Structure 1
């Protein structure tokens, strides 16, 4: 029972942990907050060492200065006596009664003030010699000072102090400057977030409008490509290429639907007419079987159309790329040539192959054989009696190989070459020949699957069909 409860509880804890580890989403607010945090961290990394060095060095220098002053004055007392020390102190603090600079006091053993800018011995000073930090009153104002108390010969007392408040003012100015920089960073982050959000919303609005138009059936609409070379330019190009492909596929489906409705009508009408005639006329068995054979031919023709469409659908989906293996294109072309040799001989057509001993590539051998067979079959249909068909395999460059099929038939006019690879399209000159107009469509689809293309050119006379394939 506990195991069941644990198994039920595990999925609850797991999403919670994933939520904790999940990064924030991409938005203008996230960018602004991230910018502010990073900038404040960098500002803190800069200010913290500076603050530490300032505080440490100032304290050290201040202490060294007041110790040096106390030591110098003590030596003066030892060499020249109290009057010289009193004169030296008065000269240093003369006119300075605000406690901003040096604070000094020279006292006689009986407590009489001999020199300095303090009226009396301040309260809170320890009764021992040395360095300390205390708060004393100077001219009626409480001041934080660091002082050195020294007991001289015969009970004389010397006090040398440095005001800490003036350094605290500098530290406060530094803190205010740091705070101002932080506020400037936050304001710039907020302003940047607003500007980024406005820019992103403008782009998103453009994408939304284009998407809405496409949803309404206007497949020719495309995203406006920015001309400033920003990061969205590549995304816009990718989306537009995707929309081109979608429009091509949708248009292809529409054309296929129309072509199927047109091209299947004839064999199905013939099939129905034969069966209806058999049902009404009840001819002899020999004639009946002949009509049945013709009906089977009509059914085979319909099935051939559907099989070709299924192959094209499978090729267009890209699922056949999983069956790519190493293929010797020269050996494959030689086998296809040998297979069609008897057909060419019956039509009194010369069929020859020329190619290297080996032409390795990577692809689907079944589809490549079918594509090459369609090219040869197309040439056999239109080559004249005692004509010639040549098959040649060669390497174009390090990344491309090709198989070329040439004939000396009527060829294809230049304005028709882009249309003959469309599904079910047949030229007027080919209406009387068998076929449904899918042969070159399959060849073109196989070429695209292999990263290549079907190129149709004039052979003077005849047609030069090149199946170019990528080896990478």
Structure 2
């Protein structure tokens, strides 16, 4: 398709033609109304003038007879810009006036008519148009008084010429403006098309150009760029997951295979085979947990879990996690406490529970204080081995936090800590897959919130920040009694 063909097929050019047609139609209607109204006004002025003069001449005839009528017509015919006058006898012959010829039948009937005429003093044979009134005098004489319509014709000529030039200017400017607008829009669309082709070719870093006008194309480009950024992030996440699975799961799979091979080669008794199988099952369970965590993260990041959202109180989730993990914390020498208030939200209860459980597991596993900084006071030492779960509302957000008093995470590593399979140096000697914080971050993002990692001096405070219920939900929740704060 040629460049001109693309140009005239653009929506902007077609809309310009539509607006041009409507504007031209409006301009023509306006000029037509002006011309019609002007014609009406001129006709009214002519009829008023002719009626007044006819009445004067009839009065003169009634008082002074034919002689006075003849002298009056002769005098008035000599004035500049004189009207048309003609008196005929009952036989139809001209008796006086300044009209030489009329259209046939004009003097045959009384009343108003528009006729062609020629004056007595005109040398050429050109006919003019006039609006005349014929009245019947006494004794069968007839009087014609009229006025030339040249003024009306000139005005119509001016209006017609103005209309022609106006329409010509409108058409030229409209088509020129349409071509300018269409070319401008087409350039932007072509730029967007080129970017989309690069993206389809695999360059996900491409972004649509955004101008400074803030028009609908800029808003569309901004929204599409936001969508492309999200797609690029998802694709990068998929690539990272693939790479991480290839690297981080290769070691446990290799270890699983080696143990099975070792059992086949060296085990001789049933007890040794059973022990080898138990280690294999334990390793397989760890792999299954890793894949389940990856699937859960994928569900959260893709938004597939939004269909299972409901209204619930985050305090109930915090209490359930406390009850579930309290024995595990005690076995590990830690104390697990919970503090809750009413904190209703709308979300996926299963995912939020899993995210909070991951934070609690991390706090129990990595939140033990360093032996070299243990306080001498037994009460203070007990507080350093305490993990606190909190669920509370703060403004229009619900905060689910887990606080420990361990070594924490350095501020420079906190952004890196929420990535998949990332394990910091302090935790590499402990079992784990490095997916706990990544899952919690994905769940918070799914619910329109965020995961915050802060310093509890000493230790780490990991907080799920999730939007609370809407005002309508709050009114509904207000109908039920609040759960008082409780320290367990």
Q: Report the TM-score range of the alignment, normalised by the length of the smaller protein.
A: 0.7 to 0.9
Deviation at 1:279, TM superposition (A): 2.5
Deviation at 1:121, TM superposition (A): 6.8
Q: Secondary structure at the match of 1:134?
A: strand
Aligned residues between the structures: 444
Q: Is the 2:99–2:117 Cα contact (8 Å) retained in structure 1?
A: no
Deviation at 1:175, TM superposition (A): 2.8
Instruction: Specify the alignment match of 2:186 in structure 1.
Output: 201
Q: Is the 2:114–2:129 Cα contact (8 Å) retained in structure 1?
A: yes
Instruction: Specify the alignment match of 1:275 in structure 2.
Output: 260
Q: Secondary structure at the match of 1:81?
A: helix
Instruction: Specify the alignment match of 2:146 in structure 1.
Output: 161
Instruction: Specify the alignment match of 2:175 in structure 1.
Output: 190
Instruction: Specify the alignment match of 2:351 in structure 1.
Output: 367
In structure 1, list runs of 5 or more residues that go unmatched: 1-23
Aligned: 1:136 with 2:134: no
Aligned: 1:257 with 2:255: no
Specify whether residues 294 and 120 from structure 1 end up closer, same or farther in structure 2 by C-alpha distance, changes over 3 A only. closer
Aligned: 1:415 with 2:412: yes
Q: Is the 1:124–1:135 Cα contact (8 Å) retained in structure 2?
A: no
Distance across 2 between alignment mates of 1:101 and 1:417: 103
Q: Is the 2:321–2:353 Cα contact (8 Å) retained in structure 1?
A: yes
The equivalent position to 2:430 in structure 1, one of 428, 433, 457, is 433
The equivalences for 1:327-366 within 5 A come to 327-356=312-341, 358-366=342-350
Q: Is the 2:90–2:141 Cα contact (8 Å) retained in structure 1?
A: yes
The equivalent position to 1:292 in structure 2, one of 277, 280, 287, is 277
Deviation per residue, 1:359-402 (Å, 9 max, x gap) = 211111111111111111111111216511111222221x2111
The equivalences for 1:38-437 within 5 A come to 38-94=22-78, 102-107=83-88, 113-119=94-100, 123-138=104-119, 139=122, 140-356=125-341, 358-384=342-368, 386=382, 387-397=385-395, 399-437=396-434
Distance across 1 between alignment mates of 2:104 and 2:200: 88
Q: Secondary structure at the match of 2:393?
A: strand
Q: Is the 2:102–2:117 Cα contact (8 Å) retained in structure 1?
A: no
> More deviation in 448-457 or 132-141?
132-141
Q: Secondary structure at the match of 1:196?
A: helix
Specify whether residues 64 and 49 from structure 1 end up closer, same or farther in structure 2 by C-alpha distance, changes over 3 A only. same
Deviation at 1:419, TM superposition (A): 1.0
Instruction: Specify the alignment match of 1:12 in structure 2.
Output: none
Q: Secondary structure at the match of 1:404?
A: strand
Deviation at 1:410, TM superposition (A): 0.7
Q: Is the 2:101–2:118 Cα contact (8 Å) retained in structure 1?
A: no
Distance across 1 between alignment mates of 2:260 and 2:146: 125
Deviation per residue, 1:176-223 (Å, 9 max, x gap) = 322322222221221112111221122123223333443444433333
TM-score, normalised by the number of residues in structure 1: 0.87
Deviation at 1:37, TM superposition (A): 2.3
Distance across 1 between alignment mates of 2:356 and 2:389: 10
Deviation at 1:110, TM superposition (A): 6.8
> More deviation in 462-471 or 179-188?
179-188
Q: Is the 1:124–1:136 Cα contact (8 Å) retained in structure 2?
A: no
Q: Secondary structure at the match of 1:219?
A: coil
> More deviation in 367-376 or 37-46?
37-46
Distance across 1 between alignment mates of 2:149 and 2:460: 99
Deviation at 1:243, TM superposition (A): 2.1
Deviation at 1:85, TM superposition (A): 2.9
Q: Is the 1:210–1:223 Cα contact (8 Å) retained in structure 2?
A: yes
Distance across 1 between alignment mates of 2:149 and 2:391: 93
Q: Secondary structure at the match of 2:100?
A: coil
Deviation at 1:259, TM superposition (A): 0.6
Higher relative contact order (CA 8 A, sep 6+): 2
**CA-atom RMSD in angstroms:** 2.4
Q: Is the 1:124–1:134 Cα contact (8 Å) retained in structure 2?
A: no
Deviation at 1:153, TM superposition (A): 2.4
> More deviation in 220-229 or 67-76?
220-229
Q: Is the 2:359–2:462 Cα contact (8 Å) retained in structure 1?
A: yes
> More deviation in 66-75 or 123-132?
123-132
Instruction: Specify the alignment match of 1:468 in structure 2.
Output: 465
In structure 2, list runs of 5 or more residues that go unmatched: 1-7, 370-381, 471-488
Specify whether residues 120 and 305 from structure 1 end up closer, same or farther in structure 2 by C-alpha distance, changes over 3 A only. closer
Deviation at 1:94, TM superposition (A): 1.3
> More deviation in 449-458 or 183-192?
183-192
Q: Secondary structure at the match of 1:133?
A: strand
TM-score, normalised by the number of residues in structure 2: 0.84
Deviation per residue, 1:387-445 (Å, 9 max, x gap) = 11111222221x21111211101101111111111111111211111211111111111
Distance across 1 between alignment mates of 2:33 and 2:114: 25
Q: Is the 2:131–2:147 Cα contact (8 Å) retained in structure 1?
A: yes
Instruction: Specify the alignment match of 1:5 in structure 2.
Output: none
